[in-house]
Copies of this chain bind each other. A is one copy, B any other.
Amino acid sequence: MSDHIRIVLVNTTHPGNIGGVARAMKNMGLNDLCLVSPKCFPHPDADARASGATDVLEQAQVVDNLDEALADCELVFGTSARERHIPWPLVNPRELAAIAAPLKGKARVAILFGREDRGLTNEELQRCHHHVHIPAVETFSSLNIAAAVQVITYELRMAEVAEEQAARPQWGTDWDIELAPQRELELMFEHLERTLVKIDFLDPDNPRQLMPRLRRLLQRAVPDKVEVNVLRGILTAMEKQVAQPQRGEGDD
């Protein structure tokens, strides 16, 4: 839970967006939502889009001005388009997370999101320590406000679970079966080669690159013990077909 992060929405017009923001926050483990004079809230559209995050909406503070929203916060980020009159310390969402996540238990951090049509005013942006910009394409750079909250809260969540993520092998930590040791893999490849010869697919006098290709393919997948056993079972079933040809004539 990033309970030191407050999401502040300034003069939001569409209640559906407020609901979408609440859902995005709860998905990523945030619950401190502050609404600065929203146009209409509470509203059924907000509850509908929140789909299960109504607790975040119910706990939301509704205030009249930005001072009240920021009074007890130590660090403030404001979302903004890149081009502004006065240059300001500008970070992307990942850099924001790198700064804000470690402050858990040390400081309260507010992240401001502006109006659907005009964003934050220059005065509001100048209340911020940093500006945060989501690197959208220049030609179509305005994200939906709930989508913007989702991206930033996702980065906060990623920072929170970072160690776990880095430790994980590409096929997932909770793989169900032990990987096959090399000797089992080698026995399987020997079995495969014998069988391919028996079924006249591999010519021992002219093996070409067949076995290296099959090694490259299967080793790339890093097979587990059960997978190796399944492959050996298939090879044994193939050998039966060769050894006892009559087995091929019916399934009885």
Interface residues of A (CB under 8 A from B): 1, 20, 23-24, 26-29, 49, 51-53, 82, 86-95, 134-137, 140-144, 146-147, 150-151, 154, 157-158, 161, 165, 168, 170-172, 174-176, 196, 198-201, 210, 213-214, 216-218, 220-223, 226-227, 230, 233-234, 237-238, 240-243, 245-249, 251
Contacts and interface: CB of A to CB of B under 8 A. Distances in A.
A89 B161 CA distance: 19
Contacts of A172: 87-90
Contact of A247 (B94, B200, B218): B200
A114 to B, nearest CB: 16
7 contacts: A52-B142, A87-B176, A144-B146, A151-B154, A196-B237, A199-B234, A245-B248
A217 B210 contact: no
Copies in the complex: 2
Contacts of A137: 1, 26-29, 157
A89 B168 CA distance: 11
Given A147-B146, A238-B238, A87 B174 contact: yes
